[in-house]
Amino acid sequence: MTDTAPPRLLRGRILNFSALPRDDTDRAAYRYIEDGAILISGGMIEAVGDYAEIAPRAGAAQIVNHHPHLMMAGFIDTHLHFPQVQVIASWGAQLLDWLNNYTFPEETRFVDPDHCAEMARHFFDLLTSHGTTTAVAFCSVHRSSAEAYFTEAARRNMRMIGGKVMMDRNAPDGLRDTAQSGYDDSKELIEKWHGKGRGLYAISPRFAITSTPEQLEMAGALAAEYPDCHIQTHLSENHDEIAYTASLYPDAPDYLGIYERFGLIGPKALMGHSIHLTEREIAVMAETGTKAVFCPTSNLFLGSGLFDDAGLRARGITNAIATDIGGGSSYSMLQTLDQGYKILQLQGQKLHPLGAFHWVTRGNAVALGLEDRIGTLDAGTEADIVVLDARATPAMELRMARAKTLSEELFILQTLGDDRAIAETYIAGAPVKKG
């Protein structure tokens, strides 16, 4: 990774994870440093530790004092839709109606490269202002949308994953490709962008409803040709969706079985939502290492259902967590954790604050197979960092006056925080938050 940002030493409180903590006492899983320092050079973390230990190594590095704020790895969002930036907060529908009434008409606008470029600038500004440094996004069916997405990511030197949606049926005119053109466009985009700079490609059949068997076969061929690419799609979000999918693929054992037949499952596959799973689907996901992606604000907004985090984890499935913009209602991973906490509460499941912040950093990096590059503050990883201010608003400051522990502070951040709680975002060692 190349970077022109000058060397920096960031001073502040540090929270870094090495595993999923059970609770505050599980100190083998995380490291908290009251007066810490992160030394950055060439866009990479060179050293991290106590300020007194690291400062003598700073040399000519610019020293930035973020104390008393808390520094951790930048947030990772594992499922969202780039073309939906202007349909977020669209009223009154469940999944299929929401797609037909809002999303599909909006996505037809992304045939225009100028519109794509403008929306990409806004989209990336919103991500970084909320502390998100890596995301996995669906673009529209148009190649121009993916070009704009990866071009903007490269301009900002961001570790981003994305892909052109493949959809050749059950969508309006102007929003369908073909099995062959979807394959050809995706292949050309992979060759151009995957592994170039910090960009990574996700093969992206939208979901089984909008792809013919021929298209899913072509998507599976891409997955076989490019096994280091991610795969992203949707699975078992809504009961009507599941029923419609079954009618289109009557010979499949279940929804996941469709993707399984075409080679679209495995450790690189991200299954958005995964709410209403059968016993067989759970067993296959566990056996193959296929990942489930929890989208709490979207699941609540569209009335889709309650994600069984503890149940899937108990079966050995790795769960990621994501905003799902624009069915999701906030770009903030803090607000995503807040709503996720409530969904789990309804099922008698507990999300500890340390576990929550592990989830949106190292946990999501593990789900992506990228924990050696992002998601921690370990030396030798990419210097994507978020600086958090738990006193960013009057309500937060008032509550923090009574907080006594790190876990209390984290819970205040996730419950009351939003983009105002993001004091700074660093991408490859460069500060990028506007305003």
**Residue of 81, 83, 75, 80 whose CA lies nearest to 108:** 83
**Residue of 421, 379, 371, 373 whose CA lies nearest to 400:** 421
Rounded distance between C-alpha atoms, residue 170 and residue 150, angstroms: 27
Report in angstroms the alpha-carbon separations of 315 from 258, 292, 309, 344. Answer: 21, 12, 10, 17
**Residue of 99, 336, 79 whose CA lies nearest to 240:** 99
> Where does the pLDDT of residue 98 fall: very low under 50, low under 70, confident under 90, or very high at 90 and above?
confident
Please state whether the predicted TM-score (pTM) of the whole model is above 0.85. yes
Residue 227: cis peptide before it, omega within 30 degrees of 0: no
On the 0-12 / 13-18 / 19+ scale of CB atoms within 10 A, 408 is: middle
Rounded distance between C-alpha atoms, residue 47 and residue 9, angstroms: 9
> Where does the pLDDT of residue 95 fall: very low under 50, low under 70, confident under 90, or very high at 90 and above?
confident
DSSP state of 432: -
Q: What pLDDT score was predicted for residue 119?
A: 97
Tokens of 298: 């979207």
- Per-residue pLDDT tens digits for 227-264: 999 999 999 999 999 999 999 999 999 999 999 999 99
Q: What pLDDT score was predicted for residue 100?
A: 87
| Strand ranges, E, within 160-248 | 160-163, 165-166, 199-205, 230-235
Contact 150, 113 (CB under 8 A): no
- Per-residue pLDDT tens digits for 297-329: 999 999 999 999 999 999 999 999 999 999 999
Q: What pLDDT score was predicted for residue 435?
A: 63
- Per-residue pLDDT tens digits for 14-72: 999 999 999 999 999 999 999 999 999 999 999 999 999 999 999 999 999 999 999 99
**Residue of 341, 276, 285 whose CA lies nearest to 316:** 285
Backbone φ and ψ for 36, nearest 5 degrees, come out as -110, 175
- Per-residue pLDDT tens digits for 349-365: 999 999 999 999 999 99
